[in-house]
Structure 1
Amino acid sequence: MTDTRSLAACTDAVILVGGKGTRLRPLTNTIPKPMLPVAGYPFLQHLLARIREAGMTHVVLGTSFKAEFFEEFFGDGHDLGLEIEYVVEDQPLGTGGGIRNVLDHLRHERAMVFNGDVLGGTDLEAVLRTHVDNDAEVTLHLLQVADPRAFGCVPTDADGRVTDFLEKTEDPPTDQINAGCYVFQRSVIAEIPADKVVSVEREVFPALLERDARVYGHVDQAYWRDLGTPADFVRGSSDLVRGIAPSPLIAGRHGEALVDPSAGVAGGVLLLGGTVVGRGAEIGAGARVDTSVILEGVVIEPGATVERCVIAAGARIGARAQLTDAVVGEGAVIGARCELIGGARVWPGVQIPDGGLRFSPDI
């Protein structure tokens, strides 16, 4: 039997990163979602590190929105121990079309495909082993969840072979959902129509079952989170810092906070819940920052409270301001004693004066 590391070395990694990240605006107004800093690194870098750790070295990024960001940052991948190629979709092609669009850049007969929005912890080598052991044409990573009603369900038989793809239902027959990570044989990718919008979930997979293709599931209960919303983005970053979600990039550095060495944190500051403090940020005395992402150059003045928030680069939070479940765009200014709660989003460059927004009658 071929060892799993050898299998990984002969497997292409394909990452689909073409989405616009609209649910994370205004953070994604200028930066593609996979490049947003999570636990001190662009989110995509955590995934690339896991791919490298599993033994895959050739990566193809399927890009569309702000495609130039990826190549400018990662280059050819040499610094990460990878070989990275970039394929740009002129028009978004959907998941199936995006996979088909990279076909000419694949080097091997097998490709592991990742959704660039998902923070995952599954054992990639084990998924690959499941695929090869079953002589599968396609293998899906299937996640067991407590409440599968909000997801499409993927039942399997006693041998792990996929029997159906079901839309969301109030009475799901299985707790297994599609986790957005697949292993494809190259021959299957070649069957997808070129230059067309195609969905793997609604078109490719059902068609494979119809022709009785060998489609299998690798089932586990690994860490999994789609970072598509501000709440999930903050929680994913927190889980990385606290070691709940795995990443080779911060192994051995887990705790209540991850603070860049260049940041200034005054006395009496409380940093809790897996908070990240970015390069050159300054946090004033007596401030409390809990389960938040504080990006480069942010200033949080004394006595402010920031909880479950993302504060973008160069923003300023005034003294004794209180922010909960908020997103503050680049360079915005939140005046002293302001209150932002419950999903508030401040666009880049906006300035709210001292006491200019609050929910309590007096603070």
Structure 2
Amino acid sequence: MKALVLSGGAGTRMRPLTHTTAKQLVPVANKPVLFYGLEAIAEAGITEVGIIVGETAEEIQEAVGDGSKFGLDVTYIPQEKPLGLAHAVLISREFLGDEDFVMYLGDNFIVGGITDLIDNFVRDRPDAQILLTHVNDPSAFGIAELNDAGDIVSVEEKSRWPKSNLAIVGVYLFTSAVHEAVRSIAPSPRGELEITHAIQWLIDERRNVRSTTVSGYWKDTGNVVDMLEVNRSVLETLEPRIEGDIDEESQIIGRVLIEEGARVRRSRVVGPAIIGRGTVVSDSYIGAYTSVSEYCHIENSEIEFSIVLRDSSIKGVGRIEASLIGRSVMVTPAPAVPHAHRLLLGDHSKVQISS
């Protein structure tokens, strides 16, 4: 069995951060979200992985390399434009051959991995198997409609009037039957070959399409809110460890990981939180669910429920929360300016000004 990992999207919902960083490489608990997916694939016993890359190909390739650090053999498959998930399958035909495969969206996060899912698919071998989860806003996702027996009746892509609240999670399993499906569909009104259309083609052709409802934790990390929520979830499982240098005036409370080379001075760190190697925290408060990456400098500030990427500096800015701060950012106080009122008043005016 092979894996196809999609890492070619533009990440428009994460801009301006993704103008300079691939969305799949934004870190969760100081590790790129893409790496969690690759590790899950390796844990499931799959070794051959094709990674779809687009305009951020160079950055993805630099981060992942040949895949050996994950125990994988990686092949990169260029996609000139993000023309849909089914298009990604179409252009990967040579790599996939006639083997079964799992398609994993590189910016998705699933707690618990995919090993059981893979094992069940290998045992039963339906033509396709999709994961579903209940969501509050089904119009933002591909949605599946089930009958009373739990069989899939239809799937649809981001409908204004969704037929259920069962969203399709970004992990799909296919036999080679999907190749005929992706060749048989036409682009959607938004110009993409939709994987939901390919799955619907399989349903209409009476192929064996099954679903599994995910009861655990799943997130599409395509926006800041979900990224922070995934960071919170991962930090909940953090193993506390102090490898850096903590002075006697500092307090470390709860599950906190201080990486090698980090220094904490006259500060309070409340976990779960992680401080990356080479980072200096002084006269500051680092609150729960915060990930500070490598070689940052936090001084005379408070930060909580946030992600700070490498080489960034936050100095003297009071409190920051629920924030995602990119690489090499400088956050400082605004310069003091005089406060004044500018008035143009007519005769016999009466004006009250609060001090």
Matched, 1:104 2:104: no
Deviations 1:108-147 (A, max 9, x none): 5200011111111255233234434544111001124577
Match for residue 200 of structure 1?
195
How do residues 215-234 of structure 1 correspond to structure 2 at under 5 angstroms?
215-234=209-228
SS in 1 for 2:131: strand
SS in 1 for 2:86: helix
Choose from 264, 272, 275 the match for 2:273: 275
Cα distance change, pair 152–75 in 1 and its aligned pair in 2 (3 A)? closer
Q: Please state how far the C-alpha of 1:281 moved relative to its aligned partner.
A: 1.4
Match for residue 15 of structure 1?
5
Indicate conservation of the 8 Å contact 2:8/2:55, yes or no.
yes
Match for residue 257 of structure 1?
256
SS in 1 for 2:103: strand
Cα distance change, pair 149–193 in 1 and its aligned pair in 2 (3 A)? closer
Match for residue 188 of structure 1?
178
Between 1:282-291 and 1:152-161, the stretch displaced more is 152-161
Choose from 300, 303, 306 the match for 2:303: 306
In structure 2, runs of 5+ residues without a counterpart are 242-253, 338-355
Letter of the 1:266 counterpart: R
2-side partners of 1:328 and 1:80: how far apart? 28
Choose from 295, 298, 315 the match for 1:297: 295
Matched, 1:210 2:207: no
Between 1:312-321 and 1:142-151, the stretch displaced more is 142-151
Match for residue 155 of structure 1?
145
Match for residue 124 of structure 1?
114
How do residues 22-41 of structure 1 correspond to structure 2 at under 5 angstroms?
22-41=12-31
Choose from 69, 74, 79 the match for 1:89: 79
Letter of the 1:208 counterpart: L
1-side partners of 2:281 and 2:152: how far apart? 52
Letter of the 2:19 counterpart: N
SS in 2 for 1:20: coil
Between 1:287-296 and 1:11-20, the stretch displaced more is 287-296
Q: How many residues align?
A: 320
Q: Please state how far the C-alpha of 1:212 moved relative to its aligned partner.
A: 1.8
In structure 1, runs of 5+ residues without a counterpart are 1-10, 244-249, 337-352, 357-363
2-side partners of 1:170 and 1:86: how far apart? 35
Indicate conservation of the 8 Å contact 2:256/2:269, yes or no.
no
SS in 1 for 2:145: coil
Match for residue 324 of structure 1?
321
Matched, 1:241 2:238: no
Deviations 1:5-56 (A, max 9, x none): xxxxxx1111111111222233322221111222122221111111111111
SS in 1 for 2:115: helix
SS in 2 for 1:321: strand
Q: Please state how far the C-alpha of 1:61 moved relative to its aligned partner.
A: 0.4
Indicate conservation of the 8 Å contact 2:312/2:329, yes or no.
yes
Greater strand fraction, Structure 1 or Structure 2 = 2
Letter of the 2:225 counterpart: A
Identity %: 24
Letter of the 1:257 counterpart: V
SS in 2 for 1:48: helix
How do residues 163-182 of structure 1 correspond to structure 2 at under 5 angstroms?
163-166=153-156, 174-182=164-172
Indicate conservation of the 8 Å contact 1:321/1:335, yes or no.
no
Indicate conservation of the 8 Å contact 1:131/1:216, yes or no.
no
Q: If you compute each CA radius of gyration, which structure gives the higher value, 1 or 2?
A: 2
Question: TM-score scaled by structure 1?
Answer: 0.78
Match for residue 287 of structure 1?
285
Question: TM-score scaled by structure 2?
Answer: 0.80
Indicate conservation of the 8 Å contact 2:240/2:255, yes or no.
no
